[in-house]
């Protein structure tokens, strides 16, 4: 076995200790006589796993009482539509969105199927960034909520403070959930595909406020056909995410990832760890002028630093040489090019050191 | 490790050889330097896995050219709505459904959100069954398609011939896909949650005909807001089920399950194997009069035989004693009670023998 330095954007690197726990349970989970993938989701052992995953997420994020915690399928792309379908009853219902890159562009497309959705802010200029405290947001008084993408995986930018508004927030937190403390009480809905900070792909964590659950009832009563069962937050909450068979292995893996975070000191410890890693990488990006960061300094992501070399051709060479040297997944997203290192919670400081050392070597040879 | 006889309805028993292949790839998939859960869904190794899963399913089921093969999330419950959302544009569009038990009852609820859906046949009487060749179906001339549940997991009944109609068929094949040959060309859509015959929960195989894909375009143009991206078969087909991050481990496991079926001789060999197992179990149910089958003989399921003992109290005792003896998952579905053995493809003849032997022993002690 030769596990390499893995900087993939998602599915992403996971701690070996978590992987080994999944491995061990595949032929038999505990003393059940059944493997992890073969056990009924209605069984006591699986219910205990699901309950523990929920309890851990509640503790880690400080989720207020009354909020529902769901483990669904379909990823953030399904939530782009599902959250709007639960909150907006048609063209008379308004929401605002902050457009900071690719995933928010995808989100607005799905949200507009359900209501009147307008951009309160839109990325412009050469460098990626997100609105900073004091920047004007063009929010509408009668907007019911404001949607934003807390971290932009493709563009490498991240909100370091919540958007300035009193409206309920809806946040796509796929790429930075549990990487730092967040005030959940300011949010109507938080959703996150698990495959970056919470485990394997195929599970989506969704946190839903009491206000958002009320909206589901309001909308259900007005839209033709009503809310489809699988898209109804109330039903998913009532059934503890087990209206139908959930991704049982995915929820087990997520529980183990949350345990790993808790054992590592929680989200505050993760934030310190992530800051250290990002600082080391950005210091190298800024060191000599050979590399150029793709994001303004104040918007830089702790999860997905993006940068470029002197030419697109050299970026291609960098990716090829890095791959050969055991540093994987450094190619920028196909829509923007350049370079990107995805350094979620599980990424080790030693991987950053290996990357920085390789960047310095590359600069010596090609600079 | 002590793997017991597992008769769970789903998630269900999987071959140990498949489980061991998943185990082996968790820390590193091939020579990639990355584990199965950590590899990008856009990488060549994962694309090869997805492509192989599709090719295997096409070969095994004889899927006609032009049909799309999708691996989605959300299970059959999402397909109850998704298939109807793609085929029915509102109250003027009609579909008929054959109601044979719990899952078709759930399906009609979601389908009615999208159009005018009527029951062409409805289960009645004491014994579970499905319509037989020659039985009258109350089909409407202007129904666009006919939905049926090919095997009823809860009730233990199964169609042994396709419903008699020239209309396009839509089949929930969750609990008997790849357990026997099927004429796919008679179907507009086939869907199946993987967790019974195809692997772990969290993946749904969906087979979509060219006619059904045309309907998506028709419906998309007429419903308010259009088809949500994640519920649009055309988009899922165009993107090879990778519009967003799929359940990568689930698709890998499904590919290994399909390989196991192909290596075992394909769906014809599975049918012979399943017939042998079911024959042995039903022979015991019918042998002495101690047990009573819950389904008419001609509708008996090869996947989920259901039966009862002389009293509900003895059924409870049976489940408890069987569990203690290492025979798991024999309790009937909570909505109907009684006993059920789910004996999908992967269930071994030796598990049937152990169950039959235990039933005889139980009868001696309690008869």
- Interval A178-231: pLDDT, tens: 999 999 999 999 999 999 999 999 999 999 999 999 999 999 999 999 999 999
Residue-wise DSSP of B60-100: HHTPPTT-EEEEESSHHHHHHHHHHHHH--EEEEEEEEEE-
Q: Virtual CA dihedral for A32, A36, A38, A44, nearest 10 degrees? A: 50
Nearest to A73 by CA among A173, A178, A193: A193
Whether residue B113 and residue A23 make contact (CB cut-off 8 A), yes or no, is no
Cα angle B47, B53, B56 (rounded to 5 degrees) comes to 135
Phi-psi region of B156 (alpha: psi -120 to 50; beta: other; left: phi over 0): left
Nearest alpha carbon to residue B116 among B143, B155, B85? B143
Over range B180-201, report the average pLDDT.
Answer: 98
pLDDT band at A361 (very low <50, low <70, confident <90, very high): very high
- A266-366: CATH topology is 3.90.1150
CA distance A355 to A43: 45
A287-297 mean pLDDT? 97
Cα torsion through B200, B204, B209, B215, rounded to 10: 180
How many angstroms separate the CA of residue A39 from the nearest CA in chain B?
Answer: 6
Measured between alpha carbons, how far is A86 from B145 in angstroms, rounded to an integer? 30
The reply to whether A172 belongs to the active site is yes
Query: How do residues A324-335 score in pLDDT, each as one tens digit?
Result: 999 999 999 999
Q: Identify the band that residue B268 occupies on the pLDDT scale cut at 50, 70 and 90.
A: very high
**Mean pLDDT on A120-136:** 95
How far B148 CA sits from the closest chain A CA (Å)? 19
Give the residue extent of every domain in chain B: 17-263, 265-366
Query: E strands, A17-114, where?
Result: 68-72, 90-99
Dump pLDDT digits (tens) for B223-258: 999 999 999 999 999 999 999 999 999 999 999 999
**Position A1 pLDDT exceeds 70:** no
Q: Around A275, how many Cα atoms within 13 Å sit in the side-chain half-sphere? A: 9
| Catalytic site residue from B93, B96, B103, B121 | B103
Candidates 3.90.1150.10, 3.60.15.10, 3.30.43.10, 3.90.220.20; CATH matching B265-366:
3.90.1150.10
Task: State the average pLDDT over residues A159-178.
Answer: 98
Give A-chain residues touching B226 at CB under 8 angstroms: 113
Cβ atoms < 10 Å from Cβ of B22: 23
A103 annotated active-site: yes
Query: In percent, how much of chain B has pLDDT > 70?
Result: 100
In this predicted structure, the answer to whether residue B1 has a pLDDT above a threshold of 70 is: no
More confident of the two residues B263 and B367:
B263
Q: Do B73 and A202 touch (CB under 8 A)?
A: yes
* Cα dihedral A256→A259→A263→A266 (10° resolution): 130
Is residue A267's pLDDT more than 90?
yes
| CATH fold of the domain at A17-263 | 3.40.640
Which residues of chain B lie closer than 8 angstroms to A89, CB-CB?
none
Chain A CB contacts of B247 below 8 Å: 73, 200-202, 247, 250
pLDDT digits (tens, 9 = 90+) for B34-43: 999 999 999 9
B121, B167, B196, B232: the catalytic one is B196
**Residue A106: its chain B contacts at CB < 8 A?**
229
The 10 Å Cβ neighbour count of residue B142 is: 10
Sorting pLDDT into bands at 50, 70 and 90, what band is A365? very high
- Name the catalytic one among A96, A116, A172, A315: A172
Chain B residue nearest residue A40, CA to CA: B11
Residues of A in contact with B41 (CB under 8 A): 11, 201
Report H helices in A4-43: 16-25
User: How many beta-carbon contacts under 8 Å exist across A and B?
Assistant: 223
Q: How is residue B21 written in tokens? A: 């292949």
Residue with tokens 């896995």: B49
- Whole-angstrom distance, CA of residue A120 vs CA of residue A137: 5
Q: What does the alpha-carbon distance between residue B337 and residue B12 come to, in Å, rounded to a whole number?
A: 19
Positive/negative CA dihedral, B197, B198, B203, B207: negative
Rounded Cα–Cα distance for residues A62 and A60 (Å): 6
Average pLDDT along chain B? 97
The yes-or-no verdict on residue B107 having pLDDT over 80 is yes
Q: Is the pLDDT of residue A274 over 90?
A: yes
Q: What's the pLDDT at A367?
A: 86
Closest CA to B304 of B120, B96, B154, B110: B154
Residue A299, token pair as written in the block: 């918007």
First to last CA, chain A: 35
Residue in A167, A196, A256, A331 annotated catalytic = A196
Q: From the list A34, A202, A231, which residue is nearest B6 (CB)?
A: A34
User: What is the Cα–Cα distance from B285 to A130, expressed in whole angstroms?
Assistant: 68
* A27, A77, A248 member nearest B230 (Cβ): A77
Residue A40 to residue B8, Cβ atoms within 8 A: yes
Q: Which residue of A has its CA nearest to B79?
A: A230
Cβ distance A222 to A239 under 8 Å?
no
A56 with A45: CB under 8 angstroms? no
- The CA radius of gyration of chain A, in Å to the nearest whole number, is 21
Selecting among B96, B116, B172, B315, the annotated active-site residue is B172
To the question of pTM greater than 0.80 for the whole model, the response is yes
A307, pLDDT greater than 80: yes
- pLDDT mean over A284-309: 98
Q: Which residues pair with A213 in a beta bridge?
A: none
- Our CA angle for A94, A97, A100, nearest 5°, is 165
Q: Which residues of B touch A326 (CB under 8 A)?
A: 33
pLDDT at position B365 is: 97
Round to whole Å and give the CA distance between B20 and B23: 5
pLDDT tens, position by position, A137-153: 999 999 999 999 999 99
CA–CA dist B123, B133 (Å, integer)? 15
């Amino acid at each position: 076995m030769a596990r390499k330095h893995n900087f993939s954007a998602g599915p992403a690197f996971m701690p070996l200790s978590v992987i080994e726990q999944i491995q061990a349970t595949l032929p038999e989970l505990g003393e059940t006589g059944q493997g992890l993938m073969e056990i009924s989701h209605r069984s006591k052992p699986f219910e205990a796993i699901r309950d523990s995953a929920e309890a851990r997420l509640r503790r880690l994020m400080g989720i207020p009482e009354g909020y529902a915690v769901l483990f669904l399928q379909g990823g953030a792309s399904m939530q782009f539509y599902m959250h709007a379908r639960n909150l907006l009853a048609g063209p008379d219902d308004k929401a605002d969105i902050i457009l900071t890159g690719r995933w928010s562009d995808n989100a607005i497309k799905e949200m507009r199927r359900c209501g009147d959705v307008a951009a309160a802010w839109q990325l412009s200029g050469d460098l990626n960034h997100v609105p900073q405290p004091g920047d004007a947001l063009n929010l509408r008084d009668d907007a019911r909520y404001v949607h934003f993408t807390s971290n932009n995986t493709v563009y490498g930018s991240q909100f370091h403070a919540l958007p300035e508004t009193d409206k309920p927030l809806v946040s796509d937190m796929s790429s930075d959930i549990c990487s730092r403390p967040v005030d959940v009480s300011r949010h109507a809905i938080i959703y996150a595909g698990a495959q970056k900070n919470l485990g394997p792909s195929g599970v989506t964590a969704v946190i839903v406020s009491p206000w958002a659950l009320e909206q589901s009832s309001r909308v259900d009563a007005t839209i033709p056909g009503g809310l489809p069962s699988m898209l109804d937050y109330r039903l998913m909450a009532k059934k503890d995410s087990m209206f139908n068979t959930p991704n049982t292995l995915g929820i087990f893996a997520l529980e183990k990832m949350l345990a790993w975070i808790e054992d590592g000191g929680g989200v505050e410890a993760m934030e310190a760890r992530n800051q250290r890693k990002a600082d080391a990488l950005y210091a190298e990006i800024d060191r000599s002028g050979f590399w150029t960061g793709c994001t303004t300094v104040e918007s830089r992501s702790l999860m997905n630093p993006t940068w470029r070399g002197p030419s697109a051709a050299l970026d291609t060479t960098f990716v090829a040489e890095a791959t050969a040297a055991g540093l994987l997944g450094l190619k920028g997203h196909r829509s923007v090019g350049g370079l990107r290192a995805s350094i979620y919670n599980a990424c080790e400081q030693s991987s950053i050191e290996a990357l920085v050392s390789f960047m310095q070597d590359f600069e010596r040879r090609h600079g």
